[in-house]
Amino acid sequence: MTTPDMTRSKAMYALLERLFPICRSITGNGVRQTLTILGECIPLETHEVPSGTQVFDWTVPPEWNIHDAYVADACGNRVIDFQKNNLHVVGYSIPINGRFSREELDEHLYSLPEQPSAIPYVTSYYKAHWGFCLPHCERGRLTDPWYDVVIDSTLAPGSLTYADLVIPGESEEEILISTYVCHPSLANNELSGPVVATYLAMALLRRERRRFTYRFVFVPETIGSITYLSRYKDHLKKHVVAGFVVTCVGDNAKFCYLKSRAGETLADRIVLHVLKHAEPDALIFEFTESGSDERQYCSPGINLPVGSLMRTKYGCFPEYHTSLDNLEFVSAEALAGSLEMYLRCVDGLERNHVYRSRTYGDPQLGKRGLYPSISSKEFAESLRLMINLIAYCDGTHDLLWIADKFGVPLARLVEVADLLTSHELLERVS
Piece of 116-124, 207-215, 238-246, 324-332 that binds a copy of itself (CB under 8 A) = 116-124
Say if residue 67 is exposed, middle or buried (CB neighbours under 10 Å; 0-12, 13-18, 19+). exposed
By CB under 8 A, tell whether 381 contacts a copy of itself.
no
Out of 25, 86, 93, 123, point to the residue binding a copy of itself (CB under 8 A): 123
Least Å distance between CB 316 and a copy of itself? 12
**Contact string (CB under 8 A) for a copy of itself, positions 406-425, x = contact:** x-------------------
Single residue of 13, 180, 199, 287 touching a copy of itself by CB under 8 A: 287
* Residue 50 binds a copy of itself, judged by CB under 8 A: no
Contact string (CB under 8 A) for a copy of itself, positions 130-159, x = contact:
-x----------------------------
Q: How far is the CB of 146 from a copy of itself (least distance, A)?
A: 24
Closest CA to 26 of 68, 55, 3: 55
Nearer of residues 261 and 344 to a copy of itself, judged by Cβ: 261
Find the binding residues for a copy of itself in span 209-268 (CB under 8 A).
222, 225-226, 229-230, 233, 261
d(Cα 173, Cα 373) in Å, to the nearest integer?
44
Q: What is the DSSP letter of 60?
A: P
Number of residues that bind a copy of itself (CB under 8 A): 64
Question: What residues between 312 and 351 interact with a copy of itself by CB under 8 A?
Answer: 315, 320-321
Q: Would you say 20 or 58 has its CB closer to a copy of itself?
A: 58
**Residue 261 neighbours by CB under 8 Å, 6+ apart:** 287, 290, 294, 298, 299, 303
Tell me the Cα Rg of the chain. 26
210 secondary structure, DSSP code = -
DSSP 184: S
| Residue 408 CB partners (closer than 8 Å, separation 6+) | 385
Contact pick of 67, 141, 235, 405 for a copy of itself (by CB under 8 A):
405
Lay out the sheet containing 174-180: strands in order across: 45-50, 159-167, 213-219, 174-180, 240-245, 306-310, 256-258, 283-285
User: Hey, is 271 helix, strand or coil?
Assistant: helix
430 is an interface residue for a copy of itself by CB under 8 A: no
